[in-house]
Copies of this chain bind each other. A is one copy, B any other.
Amino acid sequence: MTTEQVKEKKHNLIASDRIEGTPVRRASGDKIGKIERLMLDKVSGNVAYAILSFGGFLGIGNKHLPVPWARLTYNKPMEAYEIDLSDEELRQAPAYEADEDFDWGDRSREVDLHAYYKSPAYWGY
């Protein structure tokens, strides 16, 4: 690929500290919450999860929801990450209290998480 050709490609990069705080919406535009932070796989350098937080939405209050990163898509016109989860799916999703830590050391919890979101495992089999 020549330099001319690559120049035509669009700029697709976003800073990690700009992702933190980005709203999360449904395709309809409804705001669900925001991205609190990302969880990265130290070895591969890939993003594994977005941690979503909620401002009391649905009474979820201070819960944090780890969502497989692959389930979120960036919607440029909305300037938000998009995920289609119903209120009920959000209420039942694996979550932890904001002032506690998810037990990332227990991969069986990550297996359950990926099963819940029907998302392929980022760590590969």
Q: Which residues of A contact B (CB under 8 A)?
A: 1, 3, 6-7, 9-17, 19-20, 37-43, 45-49, 51, 69-70, 72, 74, 104-108, 110-111, 123, 125
Contact of A48 among B13, B17, B125 (CB under 8 A): B13
Let me know if A46 and B47 touch, CB within 8 A.
yes
Contact of A16 among B1, B37, B72 (CB under 8 A): B37
Let me know if A12 and B37 touch, CB within 8 A.
no
Let me know if A45 and B43 touch, CB within 8 A.
no
**Are A43 and B6 also in contact (CB < 8 A) when A1-B125, A37-B17 are?**
no
Give the distance in Å from the alpha carbon of A45 to the alpha carbon of B45 in the complex. 10
Q: How far is the CB of A71 from chain B (nearest CB, A)?
A: 10
**Are A7 and B45 also in contact (CB < 8 A) when A13-B39, A16-B39, A39-B14 are?**
no
Give the distance in Å from the alpha carbon of A83 to the alpha carbon of B40 in the complex. 19
Let me know if A107 and B7 touch, CB within 8 A.
yes
Let me know if A16 and B13 touch, CB within 8 A.
no
A18 nearest CB neighbor, chain B only: B37
